[in-house]
């Protein structure tokens, strides 16, 4: 059965182009290291096995990379990578080669890469080595650091399709401002990573390469829409990844792959020169931000990008606020919200947040405040969530459909889920404005109620109902999308805990009856959908939210919390 813009005959004409696009990857990796490719094909199980078993991806890295390469990709932080080039211990080329090898292995395991940039990365690394040798100076704080980039961000003279098949011939005239900044600061971009069709799933699945796998359990979703990044960084295939987020697209992937991720306050990081279906849409504003293995590296990225990259010099919509010193009080008031009152999280998430609240309440630097009785009601949350979903689709999906239609590509299940947000109804501009006004009132209310009246510095919540989702089944966005709606900054961090198939098997006795709760907990026939066994190996991560523009404080607090949880680097 075809749906909306689907046109199988038309799509068939695009298939050779998709094949050629994908073959370029094959060609690049074979040209780079045919031996490694052969070993990967021998050692790494078939897609069928990976898609059905809870395989930990890093095990293959361990088996396939040399000791030296493993040391580079596993052990050194961004700062150490840079320092070791200054000391002459490592060259940019050596680092690039190690990361490219990891990126190849990672792709066999998780299928996260849309486009490799191997020759470009090696060329760039070579020129960085020359620059350091000739001048004795680093190009910048990312000198020789391999960074993966979500594909929707344009890259000069390369195809940028943002997972829309109709864009398969779209060669970018210039790179996105953020890519330019990272490269000016010395970053080596060796791979452009996958995102889902329409870039609007909390999962990563498209008609170019199919689904991307979670590096912690290959049968699970890596989250989305920056799931290519979480798979890549989670496989140590890049030192840090750069993603984007309009409803949870940095945070869900970070959480699902046991990483740190930040959704900064909007307009701190430039969005200029990217492709998405959000063109001209400003009711819920997208952001870009990094996914990292440690909070220190995430901090390093933000500071370097803002203070040395100065995006406002290239993008007039970027706000000229540098990455400042944090200004947390001696005792941090942290509100804990175990459930948003709309959709009850799965047991491991509830266990995770209780654990962290418990740890924090024993530390004199934190004053823990339970928000359970102080949060918005189920009805109020439903209203806000309905508003968010309607804002995503209020043009009747006209922009999205105009990008899907020219290729007739198949509409994936989570694309359909997204296109039907708010009924997929075409609103009037008047209605859009009234929803904006409701959004603004919520933004003010959160400031007044929580940050001003209750004097909270931070709010700790789940990132998602599940520790990681079953592919094609990430339905509820509310834990992350609320913060896109009202635009308060968040950091997602691993708690150090994992889902426990036994401990986390119990379904709560009382569940809500709203449609979102039902979709998460029940099958259509009314039977319980939740099955603890599915989430084996999934990490438990939480979301920390701060005051607007106080991104630095959220990061600083995450450092303290991570130390208390003993999660240094994943």
Tell me which of 249, 294, 348, 562 is the catalytic residue: 249
**Is residue 409 a contact partner of residue 11, using CB atoms and an 8 Å limit?**
yes
Question: Whose Cβ is closer to a second copy: residue 318's or residue 520's?
Answer: 318
435 binds a second copy (CB under 8 A): yes
Question: Whose Cβ is closer to a second copy: residue 42's or residue 428's?
Answer: 428
b/e map 289-316, b = 16+ CB within 10 Å: bbbbbbbbbbbbbbbbbbebbebbebbe
Count of residues near a second copy by CB under 8 A = 41
Question: Whose Cβ is closer to a second copy: residue 425's or residue 559's?
Answer: 425
Whole-number Å distance between alpha carbons of 204 and 412: 11
**Residue 225 labelled as part of a binding site:** yes
1 binds a second copy (CB under 8 A): no
Q: Say which residues have a Cβ less than 8 Å from residue 118's Cβ, sequence separation at least 6.
A: 28, 29, 31, 32, 100, 190
Q: Write down the least CB distance from residue 208 to a second copy, Å.
A: 25
317 binds a second copy (CB under 8 A): yes
**Is residue 60 a contact partner of residue 44, using CB atoms and an 8 Å limit?**
yes
Segment near a second copy (CB under 8 A); pick from 75-83, 91-99, 184-192, 278-286: 278-286
Nearest of 349, 150, 154 to residue 357 by alpha carbon? 349
**Is residue 322 a contact partner of residue 444, using CB atoms and an 8 Å limit?**
no
| Contact pick of 320, 329, 423, 508 for a second copy (by CB under 8 A) | 320
- Helix (H) / strand (E) element for 103: namely helix 92-110
Q: Write down the least CB distance from residue 440 to a second copy, Å.
A: 7
Whole-number Å distance between alpha carbons of 93 and 368: 48
Whole-number Å distance between alpha carbons of 154 and 176: 5
Question: Whose Cβ is closer to a second copy: residue 14's or residue 312's?
Answer: 312
Tell me which of 163, 172, 194, 225 is the catalytic residue: 225
Q: Write down the least CB distance from residue 397 to a second copy, Å.
A: 9
Q: Write down the least CB distance from residue 266 to a second copy, Å.
A: 11
Dihedral Cα 259, 263, 267, 272, nearest 10 deg: 50
Place of tokens 């998709």: 18
| Contact pick of 34, 86, 434, 503 for a second copy (by CB under 8 A) | 434
Place of tokens 């829409």: 225
Instruction: Kindly state the tokens that stand for 515.
Output: 């449609």
Going from the C-alpha of 538 to that of each of 219, 378, 504, the distances in angstroms are 10, 28, 12
Q: What is the separation of C-alpha 53 from the centre of its chain, rounded to a whole number of angstroms?
A: 23
Q: Write down the least CB distance from residue 398 to a second copy, Å.
A: 4
Instruction: Decide if 150 is catalytic.
Output: yes
Question: Whose Cβ is closer to a second copy: residue 338's or residue 489's?
Answer: 489
Strand order in the sheet with 188-193: 113-116, 188-193, 146-150, 240-245, 287-292, 260-263, 490-498, 539-546, 458-462, 332-336, 366-370
| Contact pick of 7, 281, 367, 514 for a second copy (by CB under 8 A) | 281
Instruction: Decide if 382 is catalytic.
Output: no
**Residue 249 labelled as part of a binding site:** yes
**Residue 411 labelled as part of a binding site:** no
Contact track, a second copy, 439-478, x by CB under 8 A: -x--xx-xx----x--------------------------
322 binds a second copy (CB under 8 A): no
| Contact pick of 203, 487, 517, 552 for a second copy (by CB under 8 A) | 487
**Binders in 37-96 for a second copy, by CB under 8 A:** none
**Residue 199 labelled as part of a binding site:** yes
Q: Write down the least CB distance from residue 455 to a second copy, Å.
A: 12
Question: Whose Cβ is closer to a second copy: residue 233's or residue 486's?
Answer: 486
Q: Write down the least CB distance from residue 58 to a second copy, Å.
A: 41
Nearest of 10, 308, 31 to residue 142 by alpha carbon? 308
**Is residue 11 a contact partner of residue 19, using CB atoms and an 8 Å limit?**
no
**Binders in 160-199 for a second copy, by CB under 8 A:** none
**Is residue 36 a contact partner of residue 108, using CB atoms and an 8 Å limit?**
no
Q: Write down the least CB distance from residue 229 to a second copy, Å.
A: 25
How would DSSP label each residue in 269-305? Answer: S---SB--TTTT--SS--EEEEEESSHHHHHHHHHII
**Residue 248 labelled as part of a binding site:** yes
**Binders in 392-431 for a second copy, by CB under 8 A:** 394-396, 398-399, 426-430
Q: Say which residues have a Cβ less than 8 Å from residue 196's Cβ, sequence separation at least 6.
A: 163, 203, 204, 205, 206, 224, 225, 227, 412, 414, 415
**Residue 46 labelled as part of a binding site:** no
Q: Write down the least CB distance from residue 429 to a second copy, Å.
A: 4
Q: What is the separation of C-alpha 376 from the centre of its chain, rounded to a whole number of angstroms?
A: 27
Question: Whose Cβ is closer to a second copy: residue 253's or residue 277's?
Answer: 277
| Contact pick of 486, 538, 541, 561 for a second copy (by CB under 8 A) | 486
Tell me which of 25, 91, 150, 175 is the catalytic residue: 150
| Contact pick of 94, 229, 297, 315 for a second copy (by CB under 8 A) | 315
| Contact pick of 432, 472, 501, 564 for a second copy (by CB under 8 A) | 432
Question: Whose Cβ is closer to a second copy: residue 434's or residue 528's?
Answer: 434
Instruction: Decide if 225 is catalytic.
Output: yes
Residue ranges of the annotated binding site for substrate are 199, 225, 246-249
Residues that bind a second copy (CB under 8 A): 272, 279-283, 312-313, 315-317, 319-321, 394-396, 398-399, 426-430, 432-437, 440, 443-444, 446-447, 452, 486-488, 548-549
What positions carry a catalytic annotation?
150, 225, 249
């Amino acid at each position: 059965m075809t749906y909306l813009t689907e046109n199988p005959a038309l799509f068939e004409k695009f298939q050779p182009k998709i094949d050629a696009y994908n073959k370029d990857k094959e060609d690049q990796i074979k040209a780079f290291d045919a031996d490694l490719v052969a070993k990967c094909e021998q050692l790494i199980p078939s897609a069928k096995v990976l898609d059905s078993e809870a395989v930990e991806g890093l095990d293959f890295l361990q088996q396939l990379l040399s000791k030296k390469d493993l040391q580079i990709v596993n052990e050194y932080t961004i700062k150490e990578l840079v320092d070791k080039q200054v000391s002459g211990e490592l060259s940019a080329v050596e680092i690039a080669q190690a990361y490219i090898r990891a990126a190849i292995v990672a792709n066999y395991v998780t299928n996260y890469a849309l486009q490799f940039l191997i020759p470009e990365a090696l060329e760039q690394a070579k020129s960085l080595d020359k620059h350091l040798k000739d001048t004795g100076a680093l190009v910048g704080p990312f000198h020789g650091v391999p960074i993966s980039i979500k594909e929707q961000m344009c890259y000069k003279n390369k195809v940028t399709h943002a997972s829309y098949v109709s864009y398969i011939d779209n060669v970018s005239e210039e790179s996105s401002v953020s890519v330019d900044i990272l490269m000016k600061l010395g970053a080596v971009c060796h791979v452009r990573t996958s995102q889902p069709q329409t870039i609007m799933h909390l999962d990563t699945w498209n008609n170019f390469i199919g689904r991307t796998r979670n590096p912690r359990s290959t049968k699970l979703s890596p989250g989305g829409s920056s799931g290519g990044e979480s798979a890549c960084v989670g496989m140590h295939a890049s030192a840090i990844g750069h993603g984007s987020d309009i409803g949870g697209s940095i945070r869900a992937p970070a959480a699902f792959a046991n990483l740190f991720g930040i959704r900064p306050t909007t307009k701190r990081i430039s969005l200029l020169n990217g492709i998405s279906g959000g063109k001209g849409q400003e009711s819920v504003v997208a952001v870009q931000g990094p996914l990292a293995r440690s909070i220190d590296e995430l901090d390093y990225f933000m500071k370097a990008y803002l203070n040395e990259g100065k995006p406002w010099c290239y993008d007039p919509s970027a706000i000229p606020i540098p990455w400042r010193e944090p200004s947390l009080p001696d005792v941090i008031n942290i509100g804990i919200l175990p459930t948003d009152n709309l959709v009850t999280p799965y047991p491991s998430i509830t266990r995770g947040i209780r654990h962290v609240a418990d740890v924090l309440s024993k530390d004199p630097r934190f004053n823990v405040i339970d928000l359970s009785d102080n949060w918005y009601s189920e009805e109020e949350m439903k209203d806000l969530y309905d508003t968010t979903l309607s804002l995503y689709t209020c043009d009747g999906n006209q922009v999205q459909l105009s990008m899907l239609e020219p290729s007739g590509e198949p509409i994936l299940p989570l694309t359909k889920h997204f296109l039907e947000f708010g009924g997929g109804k075409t609103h009037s501009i008047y209605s859009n404005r009234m929803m904006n006004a409701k959004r603004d009132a919520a933004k003010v209310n959160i400031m007044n109620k929580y940050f001003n009246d209750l004097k909270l510095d931070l709010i700790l919540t789940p990132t998602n109902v599940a520790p990681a989702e079953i592919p094609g089944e990430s339905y509820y966005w509310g834990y992350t999308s609320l913060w896109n709606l009202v635009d308060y900054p968040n950091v997602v961090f691993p708690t150090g805990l994992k889902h426990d198939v036994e401990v986390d098997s119990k379904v709560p006795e009382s569940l809500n009856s709203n449609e979102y709760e039902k979709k998460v907990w029940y099958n259509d026939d009314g039977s319980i959908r939740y099955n603890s066994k599915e989430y084996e190996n999934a990490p438990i991560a939480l979301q920390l939210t701060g005051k607007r523009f106080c991104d630095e404080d959220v990061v600083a607090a995450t450092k303290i919390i991570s130390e208390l949880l003993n999660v240094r680097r994943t």
